[in-house]
Structure 1
Amino acid sequence: MGVGTPPRGPAVTPRLRRPEDDPNRPEPDGAGPELECVAVPDRNENASEDADNGVLESVTGAETTGIGIVEGATAQIDVALPVAVDDDDFDDDVVLDDEVEIHGSLVERPDAAAASSLVVEDVEEVDVVEHVEDVDETDEVEMADAAAVALTSVSVATADAAQHERLRPRTSEITLQSRRLGDFEAGRESSDLLTPDRLLDPAHAVRPEPDGAWQHLVYTLSGRRINLGDSKRARARKALDRRIAAPLHGGAKFVPVLSRKGGVGKTTITTLLGMALADAREDRVIAVDANPDRGTLAERIGRSSGKTVRDLVRAHADVRGFNDISEIVARDHTRLDIIASDTDPHVSEAFNDSDYDAVADVAAHFYSLVLTDTGTGIVHSVMGATLARADQLIVVAGLSVDEARLASETLTWLESNGYADLVRSAVVVLNTARPGAALVRAGELQSHFQTRVGHVVRVPYDAHIASGSAIVFRDLQPETREAARELAAIVVESLRQRVAA
């Protein structure tokens, strides 16, 4: 085909025509879809019927400057499009171990370089071999153009295949998972074993400042280099603090303080026990004066809110938070809360078991320990509701014959009325209310009550208590504070044992 300038003719409109539309066109050999570029004359001008139609047999010898279009005729060009490997040929969803599917066959997964070579060879065979072999040997320029187009297609297909290989999900990805302590290999340790006791050198550990007069003096004079540790008394005090502060599980615990005889120090023991508990524990402790005969519990702390149990009974349905109940209770310096009884004896007689239940329900919602000063006697109406909620009993006995006998009879009455289990774990407090030597032998009383209850505690005489004024816990004699704290530790341990049982 010669190269020249085509004669000018009527305007033509190029269009694409599929080769299958030509009935005289031979079947393609699978090289890919072929399209024909057909120059269609303008409909507004007449075409010559005698003009010959020029059909190019091959695409390789075609060039736009070499196509001669006769006036009023069309020129038909066979264009072969290069075939690139379609990404859809790869099945992204089915990947078995190290195999991939290429052109319908499963082969082992190659590495990145091997994958690129596979695509290059495939494309070269289809696009270069099948199309370049039909190129007219006389036109080397057109052959070079076709080869450049084929190489460009190979480069694009190679880049697409490499990107497709990078994006393909791999089954060999590492999955992170936690291990239990027993899953580690033998001889390997987990981080849980790096404890302070193991890592810190005791010789270089910072010890707290010693507690004790002599120990603290040596510590100060040595420039804080010699630390003898706490004294024996300080160690005993801290150990007692830990016993009192032991956690109590479950709901609120109710501890009533009983006595069948007045004047033995029942209200005093309730106050001392409440102060010892509140001073050492982190949770809340409250003491309720349920004495229907005008109790004096609120007077033993020297503070009053001006409200009584009657106010709490009337407002118990409206209590929504601790702020509501804190306006009714009175609190001392140890954080012990107290609900006073009515000062009018006529009104106090109306305080019955249903009223006590209303107060106890509110107290149980905001406090962990609820102490109850039951008043004189054990047969009044409040006593039934008090014993029904009791988790631990405190029975107070005086150091006289009649007071000791009434305390023992109280235990007998409780055993006879279905509270034998509470009696076996109860605590009897021998309160010394008068100075000097006791008229009875306290050792014999202690031996008697130890056969009936779980523990017996003796509280010594204290002038600060005997004065009848408000009790300040830190102003008590050391022996009195120690007895109150021992009573508190026993109560907590007994409650913990009952919960464990």
Structure 2
Amino acid sequence: MTQTNTPKPGPRPDRAPSFPKGSVGTVAGETGTIPGDEVPAAASGVAAAGDISVVTVSGAQDRTSAGSLPAVTGAVHQSPVHQVVGQQAPATAAMPVVTAGPAGAATSGEDPAGVAATADTGTADTGTADTGIASADGAAAAQPAPAADIRDLPGRRERAEGPEPASALTADRLLTRTAAAPVSGWRRWLYQATLGYVNLGDSDQVRIQRAMEHRIATRLGERTRYVPVLSRKGGVGKTTVTTLLGMVLAELREDRVIAMDANPDRGTLSDRSPGRADFTARQLVKDRFTVDSFAQLSNYTAREGSRLDVLASDTDPTVAHAFDDADYRAVTDILGRYYSIVLTDSGTGMVHSVMKGTLEKADAVVLVSGGSVDEARLASETLSWLEAHGRQDLVAKATVVINMAAGNRTLVDIDEIEEHFLSRVKNVVRIPHDRHLAEGSRIRLGQLKPATRAAAVELAALVVDELQQDQGGRG
């Protein structure tokens, strides 16, 4: 391509320009329909082969390729600036030079070689215009490049469902997990001796224990659950079992658990539980209309060394009025606002007034039996009493605890007692003899034997299983 600004001689006086019929063009600043049979190449912006025509175009706001120009027989793009055809352009104007394609392209109106002619905006007053050169390679030099698509960025992974959300960057996906070290035993010793290179994991017993703890931590919904601990005979460890169950539940669960002493007479629940309270259940009944927050309720409960809250009964022997059914209902209504599980240390027997409200609110029951003949018989009669009073549902969900407080030196066959209760209920747990429990003082989980603690965890897991199956129970 050759670009020159040398002016071309003017038209010959003896030859007038000719245009096709019906063509509209601008010649010497005038617009009209020009008769004729031919349009000079300069009028359409395309030069014949070997000729160069000078066209000054201004006022256009965008650059247009030759492919979008009108056909030769169509109307020439009008501009407020006069187009000069066949005349010598002023020397001060920047002239665009158009190189024609193959012969015959000008007369046919086609652009087989992809010739694109572009012109930038000029100023009519100054007569200047930017220079645009069209090449025959089929690409418009002045055409703006399209914006880069974000999907075309290098290294981007294409996904059919679209980009991943930020929540997809989880710790499980990004962090390399390593097996936890064994907690005890020779497996722990081997792990430490090899500096962690040999890790056999925990034993099956430890894994079963962890599975039970996970069952205990299961959520039970929005409704408060009530679990009374029953016994028809005193001295079998009812208060001990209530304390053990409550401590394990409070330790392994994230919600609130409370154990209340509902013994009509002098109860000993506060003696077995850590901490002391300044008020009792009876005083809570008197102040029930003024307690409207958990902070106020905390003044009536005891908690020390354990997450279990304890609501004690009266210890004053001069109190003549016993804790009755109305008192129990009033207290449990308050506790139901702030606690998820309420354990009730019931009094001995089944016919006192508190037992009516206790069984009506119960979602599951724990029945405590000793390891002697009479204790086992009375516990079995308790199941019969519940069935006779229409509470077969509680019998089906009951958990019987055989408390071996007397040790294993008796002549009673404990296995036979366990088999008897398994014929009537689904769950039976045996609490082994523990010197710490036999002391009759405050219970601390850290001082229990491993077997005793494992039995308490099993008891808590069984109780939570029954409560979880009662999701749609009474409100």
Normalising by structure 2, we get a TM-score of: 0.64
| Structure 1 pair 381–348 and aligned structure 2 pair: CA distance change class (3 A) | farther
Which residue is equivalent to 2:343? 371
* CA distance in 2 between partners of 1:498 and 1:248 (Å): 9
> What per-residue deviation string (whole Å, max 9, x for no partner) do you get for residues 310-333 of structure 1?
222122222232211111111132
Are 2:228 and 2:345, in contact at CA under 8 Å, matched by a contact in 1?
yes
Cα deviation, residue 354, structure 1: 2.2
Which residue is equivalent to 2:410? 438
Q: What are the equivalent positions in structure 2 for 1:254-403 lying under 5 Å apart? A: 254-345=226-317, 347=319, 349-403=321-375
* CA distance in 2 between partners of 1:357 and 1:112 (Å): 90
Letter matched to residue 355 of structure 1: D
* CA distance in 1 between partners of 2:290 and 2:282 (Å): 14
Are 2:265 and 2:323, in contact at CA under 8 Å, matched by a contact in 1?
no
| Structure 1 pair 266–349 and aligned structure 2 pair: CA distance change class (3 A) | farther
- Taking only aligned residues, the RMSD between alpha carbons, in angstroms, comes to 4.4
Q: Look up the SS of the partner of 2:287 in the other structure.
A: helix
Q: Look up the SS of the partner of 2:289 in the other structure.
A: helix
| Bigger proportion of residues as helix | 1
Worse overlay, 429-438 or 455-464: 429-438
| Structure 1 pair 453–112 and aligned structure 2 pair: CA distance change class (3 A) | farther
Q: What are the equivalent positions in structure 2 for 1:232-243 lying under 5 Å apart? A: 232-243=204-215
Which residue is equivalent to 2:135? none
> What per-residue deviation string (whole Å, max 9, x for no partner) do you get for residues 293-340 of structure 1?
110100102421121002221222222322111111111323111000
Worse overlay, 240-249 or 471-480: 240-249
Alignment: residue pair count: 362
Which residue is equivalent to 1:250? 222
Are 1:341 and 1:348, in contact at CA under 8 Å, matched by a contact in 2?
no
> What per-residue deviation string (whole Å, max 9, x for no partner) do you get for residues 428-467 of structure 1?
1111232342343212211111121121111122222222
Are 2:274 and 2:302, in contact at CA under 8 Å, matched by a contact in 1?
no
Cα deviation, residue 401, structure 1: 2.3
Which residue is equivalent to 2:390? 418
* CA distance in 2 between partners of 1:195 and 1:331 (Å): 38
Are 1:264 and 1:398, in contact at CA under 8 Å, matched by a contact in 2?
yes
* CA distance in 1 between partners of 2:387 and 2:317 (Å): 31
* CA distance in 1 between partners of 2:329 and 2:77 (Å): 92
Are 1:293 and 1:345, in contact at CA under 8 Å, matched by a contact in 2?
no
| Structure 1 pair 117–207 and aligned structure 2 pair: CA distance change class (3 A) | same
Q: Look up the SS of the partner of 1:385 in the other structure.
A: helix
* CA distance in 1 between partners of 2:231 and 2:191 (Å): 50
Identity of aligned residues (%): 49
Q: Look up the SS of the partner of 1:338 in the other structure.
A: strand
Q: Look up the SS of the partner of 2:236 in the other structure.
A: coil
Normalising by structure 1, we get a TM-score of: 0.61
Letter matched to residue 412 of structure 1: S
Q: Look up the SS of the partner of 2:362 in the other structure.
A: coil
Q: Which runs of 5+ in 2 are unaligned?
A: 1-58, 71-75, 84-121, 130-148, 152-158
Letter matched to residue 231 of structure 2: S
* CA distance in 2 between partners of 1:367 and 1:497 (Å): 19
* CA distance in 1 between partners of 2:256 and 2:320 (Å): 26
| Structure 1 pair 262–149 and aligned structure 2 pair: CA distance change class (3 A) | closer
Which residue is equivalent to 1:465? 437
Q: Look up the SS of the partner of 1:261 in the other structure.
A: coil
